[in-house]
Amino acid sequence: MYEVPEGFEVPVFHGPLRPRLSLGAPRDFTFAMFALGTLGVVWKLWALVPLVLILQLGAIWGTRQDEKWFAKVCRVVWYKRYYKA
């Protein structure tokens, strides 16, 4: 393609650029699901446990499709449609 002059190459470490994951999903989402599952067990709402598992599996699938899906969803949720004048 093109020749890079000597001394102008820098190694790039991708670790700091990638999102932090816990159990294959974004850390914030996994923590929220863990908290929701814990509340379901403490309050004896056993229907929350399968829901949490399904949501976590969906988050893992979404992370495999696009690593930054959670940040995009958060931006859409907090986006203001209009501002008061």
- Per residue in 28-41, pLDDT (tens digit) is 999 999 999 999 99
Cα–Cα distance, 5 to 42 (Å, whole number): 63
Q: What is the pLDDT of residue 27?
A: 93
pTM: 0.74
DSSP 17: G
Q: What are the residue boundaries of the structural domains of the chain, listed by start?
A: 20-78
